[in-house]
Chain A
Amino acid sequence: MNSFQRISDDYWDRILRPRSPWWKLPVREIWEYRDLILLLFRRDLIAVYKQTVLGPIWFFVGPLFTVAVYTLVFGRVAKLPSDGLPPPLFYMSGILLWSFFSSNLTAITGSLVQNASLFGKVYFPRLVVPLSILMSSLVKLGIQALMLLLLLGYFVLNTDFSWKPGLSLCLLPFLLLLLSATALGLGLVFASFSTRYRDLNHLVGFGMLLLMYASPVIYPASFVPASLQPFFALNPIAPILEAFKSGLFGLPFSLWTGLAYSSAFALFTLVLGLMAFQRVEGRFVDYI
């Protein structure tokens, strides 16, 4: 035993200690498991439509129905304005990014609890699961973006709607980055706490519903009355959605400070999320 004690720490490849420091992200290890990220992502995409007749078409069905219902309820019945755009286009563009954000956040929040049995049997960097979720959401977003383009083509060809995208459409990758970082950051914070307090899973599902009504998905930002603007400005998602719509349809965009706020918020939550996750990663299996 003493002979083992005398071996210097440099000899060992790995030393497992009670806690790993919160700033030490296992980046190299995650990189070594990159194939697992890809395979989990593939599993998520494939398993969804195995043994279904329509297969991948189901990815389109959800958003299409949502757009149809929104057009009917919010456009026709409630007569909410749509920034002068054809309502289906307006709703579609909002739903696209919003559902990317909310489904991501919800899935990442639940990812630790849902995969508890897997985590209880084998080790791999736990961050692999949220990252694979992020990836499959991005691909789903890509697929659904195709649908937006088809819808756009339909309106351009069949109505007098003319499509003039703005220069700020180039910001799209950055906007997606912001949404991803916010979803990942917040998701990791919630996931970390939900290992102890399942209440969070319920809270997030409910919170997402509320947050959607506080975001310019079914109404344009310009529709928010001045008295509520200070509260509206607190929502870090709103400027991102607005920026996307204004870029896509060449509408004026004035929420630049809002976008700066969203960026700061994204960065902050991402760091916070990684820290919280790192803190529970080693031990959450014990009490999940």
Chain B
Amino acid sequence: MGAALFVDNLSKEYRLGQQNARRWLGNAMLSAKQNPETLIKALDGVSFGVEQGEVLGIMGRNGAGKSTLLKLLSRITAPSSGQIKQKGRMASLLEVGTGFHPDLTGRENVFLNGAILGMRKAEVRQRLDEIVDFAGVSAFLDTPVKRYSSGMYVRLAFAVAAHLDPEILIIDEVLAVGDAEFQKKCVDKMKSASAGQGKTILFVSHNLAFVQALCPRAILLEKGQLKADGPTADVIQHYIQGGQSAQSSLTRKGTLQAELHSRQMYNEHGQPAALIQQGQPCSFVLEYHAKQSLEQVGVALGFNDMGGQRILSVWSEFQQQRFSFKPGMNTIRITLPAMKLMPANYTLISYLTSNGLVVEEVEDVQQLLVVAPALKEGFAAPSLNQGVFNDEATILLETPNT
């Protein structure tokens, strides 16, 4: 397998602000050097290479430069400096349904959209049945797409894109669309594309669990620069730790007689970690700095899913425990004998109460990624499609007594 893509010292600058007569006159009189503050660097000297057949995860927070990188890779806009070298056809699913015209029928739109994505008419005709099957809209093929439900619309659009036959495929958050069943279809399609057909895939998602599950390797962008490049688990670790808000910038609510001073999560080996394997023990250490002594102290950790929904609460009250805090540092260790949450990323929220009053509530204390357990070859890994928790169970085949 040879190289598929090489990004060489890539930079992209944007000019901020509106184009108007004043700017126009201003530019004529001042050179750009004289007002450099209007330029922002969205990408700054990024370099990486991708081999054919590789699935690369691209991670980074909002504004880190992911979208800019994708736009440059898919030729939507040209770089300011540096270059991108590609081997083979490249296609991107940046936003599905591009160029769909509401008044045209599903069939007409499939052809139009296919052509926009770079397919010849004959190729589309060849794959029409497959596309329509995949999207599950065969009954409505000759209906204008404006009469489609939003789900049908998105499925059809994704189906067209998924049946492109590029050597390099860029996928951005499209898995966020559709129901769980359709998502699974998409993930399977991606897996078979990379493993079976040797396709190179660049995958961008905020869903760390997806990235972890699909990509052996990942890169991390931060403020337009390449911060990490390596095995996905390491890069995710980097990502989560880099994303922890500084102690001072945490949003705290409550009487604040005691404040969270530090927090750390430990994996089953007692090492600081942001990734926890499902089924393994883990612990959370919270250090509180108390300004005065506090009685009847309760401690809680809330686990929210990506939609902000509370999935799990661990509260000292449930364990029939209350503590006393002395002025100064007080350390709380919360241990879970086994992480039962399904693979996904979660946000932790901490609560401290005293005599029933909230002393401190901190949102976004920590990001946590639960990854699938290592199973024997051939067994299905637990995933969010099957619920929120994976509890231990004993399952026996009972043979009747003879």
Within 8 A of B (CB), among A182-205: 196-197
Contact at B92–A122, with CB atoms within 8 Å?
Answer: yes
Nearest residue in B to A197 (C-beta to C-beta)?
A: B19
A142 CB to closest chain B CB (Å) equals 22
Within 8 A of B (CB), among A47-104: 47, 50-51
Stretch at the interface among A14-22, A147-155, A234-242, A255-263: A14-22
Q: Chain A contacts of B75 at CB under 8 A?
A: 16, 123
Q: Does B127 contact A (CB under 8 A)?
A: no
Q: Chain A contacts of B3 at CB under 8 A?
A: 3-4, 7, 11
Q: Does A166 contact B (CB under 8 A)?
A: no
Contact at B116–A118, with CB atoms within 8 Å?
Answer: yes
Say yes or no: A40-B112 contact (C-beta < 8 A), given A1-B49, A9-B85, A286-B14. yes
Chain A contributes a number of interface residues (CB within 8 A of B) equal to 43
Complex Cα spacing A20 to B84, Å: 13
Other-chain contact of B48, A1, A47, A50, A286 (Cβ < 8 Å): A1
Within 8 A of B (CB), among A101-150: 118-124
B110 CB to closest chain A CB (Å) equals 11
Contact at B103–A47, with CB atoms within 8 Å?
Answer: yes
B218 CB to closest chain A CB (Å) equals 16
Contact at A283–B85, with CB atoms within 8 Å?
Answer: no
Complex Cα spacing A32 to B122, Å: 12
B96 CB to closest chain A CB (Å) equals 9
Q: Does B143 contact A (CB under 8 A)?
A: no
Within 8 A of A (CB), among B89-148: 89-90, 92, 94-95, 98-99, 101, 103-104, 108, 111-112, 115-121, 144
Contact at B83–A1, with CB atoms within 8 Å?
Answer: no
Q: Does B384 contact A (CB under 8 A)?
A: no
Contact at A46–B104, with CB atoms within 8 Å?
Answer: yes
B62 CB to closest chain A CB (Å) equals 18
Q: Chain A contacts of B316 at CB under 8 A?
A: none
Contact at B19–A287, with CB atoms within 8 Å?
Answer: yes
Other-chain contact of A287, B15, B71, B94, B121 (Cβ < 8 Å): B15
Contact at B6–A16, with CB atoms within 8 Å?
Answer: no
Q: Chain B contacts of A32 at CB under 8 A?
A: 118, 120
Contact at A11–B87, with CB atoms within 8 Å?
Answer: yes
Contact at B115–A39, with CB atoms within 8 Å?
Answer: yes
Contact at A1–B76, with CB atoms within 8 Å?
Answer: no
Q: Chain B contacts of A287 at CB under 8 A?
A: 15, 19
Contact at B103–A33, with CB atoms within 8 Å?
Answer: no
Q: Does A5 contact B (CB under 8 A)?
A: yes
Complex Cα spacing A282 to B74, Å: 12
Contact at B76–A122, with CB atoms within 8 Å?
Answer: yes
Complex Cα spacing A197 to B48, Å: 37
Contact at A122–B101, with CB atoms within 8 Å?
Answer: no
Contact at A12–B87, with CB atoms within 8 Å?
Answer: yes
Say yes or no: A47-B104 contact (C-beta < 8 A), given A17-B83, A35-B121, A122-B92. yes
Complex Cα spacing A47 to B144, Å: 11
Nearest residue in A to B91 (C-beta to C-beta)?
A: A122
Q: Chain B contacts of A1 at CB under 8 A?
A: 47-49
Instruction: List residues of A whose CB falls within 8 A of some B CB.
Output: 1, 3-5, 7, 9, 11-20, 32-33, 35-36, 38-40, 42-43, 46-47, 50-51, 118-124, 196-197, 282-283, 285-287
A to B CB contacts below 8 Å, 8 in the list:
A12-B6, A15-B84, A17-B79, A18-B83, A20-B78, A46-B104, A51-B103, A285-B71
